[in-house]
Amino acid sequence: MSSTLYAGENEAVLKSIDGGLSWETSSRLPGYYVSALAIDPTNSDVVFITQAVAGFPSGPDTDKIFKSTDGGGQWRQVPIPVPAPVAIDSLAIDPATPSIVYAAYGPFGAGKSGGVLKSIDAGETWIAAQNGLPDTIFVNALAIDPSAPARIYAATQQGVFRSTDAAARWTPINSGLTDLHVWSLSIDRSGSLLRAATAAGLFEYQVFEPPPSGTVSVIEYFYAAFDHYFITSNPDEIKMLDSEGPTGWVRTGLQFNAYAAPNEHSAPVCRFFSEAFAPKSSHFYTPFVTECAITQANPAWVLESADEFDIAVPAADGSCAAGLTPVYRLYNNGQGGAPSHRYTTDVTVRAQMISQGWVPEGLGPNAVQMCSPM
């Protein structure tokens, strides 16, 4: 709920359920103070906090992460593989997929490394997510683009770094910064304006990410009422869906590229629609002529377009040609009483969906369905 607020203090978390008019104190926690806090945007009872326990740069211990699933009534420490002693200064939760959590940390002491860790199972396990970050770095803060959650920004003492693939890779964006020691970041709801706070003042960065020449963006949406995913490259459809608000189809933040026009390396993608699973409906896409013909012969499906967009197809072993990225197709195996498919280039998302019982569909050992131009 929007009226639920949390605030960290020394050894506890304060909670308000009336927009800050009154506050209650949660159960006490070990440590000196709460140094970071993140709330699941889909469930305000799920909260992550960081407890600073080192106290001083010479402290023997490292900051710890605790999680509550009952609105702060009880807290459980979740394991995180950071070296000691470090300070975990920022936590961020993916607004579209809240099981994805990020933690940013920096070392106590010169010459040691900080970085970013990522969890795809709500904090139970963590992996390093700092490909492209300097070896010796202190990450002060993280900011997730709400319009495209795969786009993440990191504030460091060596400038601002950006990832466009859910922290798989990072690149610096420091043009115009007169002070590279960035303490904090924020981004507006549209994802178009990034602000960075430094000792030299506040800086603004206009975010603009056009697709590569000759390509179009295929945008992914999610509809919570059906638990279904949908993709489209149609500008009018994208505009309509973006206007629906939080109760309609919402962007997941993930997308991939397709060709703007047919070419010798591409195949047309058939798009089908079905209401045979009422009250739910479903869409299905395939670049394969045989699969398109089989689906078109099925009375449960209606062909909406024989060329929804154009994309390359993988070889028989599932490999994509140089310069192309694999697009994976996953099937929900009928969960929820209606078929649903998800198309993604993100291997982390692919693994997450498989862990939820989704079935990979495609060519080769990794079940590749399409090949996206980068």
* DSSP codes joined into one string, 35-83: EEEEE-TT-TT-EEEEEE---STT-SS--EEEEESSTTSS-EEE---PP
Which pLDDT value is given to residue 58? Answer: 45
Contact 98, 40 (CB under 8 A): yes
Instruction: State if pTM tops 0.85.
Output: no
Q: How far is CA 276 from the centre of its chain?
A: 32
| Residue 217 confidence (pLDDT) | 92
- pLDDT for 369 equals 97
For 152-161, the pLDDT digits (tens) are 999 999 999 9
pLDDT means over runs of 10, the chain (374 residues): 78 86 81 85 90 56 86 90 82 90 82 84 92 87 86 93 91 90 88 89 81 86 92 94 83 89 93 94 96 97 96 95 92 93 90 92 95 89
Nearest alpha carbon to residue 154 among 204, 189, 115, 108: 115
Show the domains of the chain with their CATH numbers. Answer: 5-206 (2.130.10.10), 215-373 (no CATH)
58: alpha, beta or left, given left = phi > 0 and alpha = psi -120 to 50? alpha
State how far the Cα of 93 lies from the Cα of 44, in Å rounded to an integer: 12
Number of neighbouring beta carbons within 10 Å of residue 247: 9
Task: Give CA–CA dist 331/312, Å, rounded.
Answer: 21
Q: So what's the pLDDT on residue 61?
A: 64
Q: Is the dihedral of CA 174, 176, 179, 182 positive or negative?
A: negative
Contact 50, 64 (CB under 8 A): yes
pLDDT of residue 141: 95
**Residue 34: its pLDDT value, please?**
87
Q: Is 197 exposed, middle or buried (0-12, 13-18, 19+ CB in 10 A)?
A: middle
CA atoms in the 13 A half-sphere facing the CB of 77: 13
Q: How many helices (H) and strands (E) does the chain have?
A: 3, 30
pLDDT at 1: 43
